[in-house]
Amino acid sequence: MASGHLTRRDLLLKCVSLGTLTLAPGASLADVLAWGDPQAPSARTPTAWDELGPFYKRDAPHVAELRAPTDAGLPLTVSGQVFDTRGRALENATLEIWQANDAGLYDLDGYRYRAALVADRTGRYAFGSVMPGHYPGRVCQHIHYLVQAPGCKPLTTQLYFATDPVFAGDPARNYRKDPLIYSVDLVRPVKLAKTPAGSAASVTFEIVLERA
Ligand SMILES: [Fe+2]
């Protein structure tokens, strides 16, 4: 280089060529170049599976706002990003979501509180809804997900809320009170904000798919 200054990439490649940096079995040159780079994707644990449940319906509408202005319930925004286990954002991943309304009822005749979303270029998705109600037969409030992306295994899972009274403020200790919660990682913190209309909750839920 004209300046005599090596870039990080040049330095790593030089170290490999001189043998001062060697590759462990299974490591690739791409792993070396990603080493120490804060922008590099990093390995992620696959999101835990959860049951599909009996209320899934195909062909949900492509809508990002599930809540009608007059709907009862705490307004809720859910957002997140979809990755593979190597940390690469999955552009165009599809997320089907469905949930009970504030009263704990699923719409079995139509498509209220059901949607199909497509993640953007950076794997991001978001939707507006209400905090789902409890209903007989299930212990905890939840939102169902079916997530798919080309080259990845489809994932059915469920999102839970750390504020659910069932957890008594301690999801790590109490999440098994709902026998269908197989991982505490599915229980997400809730951020509550004041709005002109009252209060609103928001939750982030990252999804990590395994490669097929
Ligand atoms: Fe459900």
Distance spanning both ends of the chain, measured CA to CA: 42
In the structure encoding, which two tokens stand for residue 59, read together?
Answer: 């062909």
208: helix, coil or strand? strand
Centre of ligand 1 from the C-alpha of residue 87, in Å = 29
| Rounded distance from Cα 31 to ligand 1 centre (Å) | 40
d(CA 51, ligand 1 centre) in Å: 9
Q: What distance in angstroms lies between residue 53's CA and the mean position of ligand 1's atoms?
A: 6
Give SS3 for 173. Answer: helix
Angstrom distance (rounded) from CA 171 to CA 167: 5
Please tell me the predicted confidence (pLDDT) of residue 2: 47
- Residue 38: the pLDDT is 58
What residues are neighbours of ligand 1 (ion), with CB under 5 Å?
53
Planar angle of CA 47, 48, 53, nearest 5 degrees: 120
Per-residue model confidence (pLDDT) at position 29: 73
Taking the centre of ligand 1 as the mean of its atom positions, its distance from the CA of residue 157, in whole angstroms, is 11
Per-residue pLDDT of the chain in tens (212 residues, 90 and over written 9)? 445 677 777 888 888 888 888 877 767 776 677 666 656 678 999 999 999 999 999 999 999 999 999 999 999 999 999 999 999 999 999 999 999 999 999 999 999 999 999 999 999 999 999 999 999 999 999 999 999 999 999 999 999 999 999 999 999 999 999 999 999 999 999 999 999 889 999 999 999 999 99
194 Cα–ligand 1 center, Å? 28
Q: How far is the CA of 119 from the centre of ligand 1 (A)?
A: 23
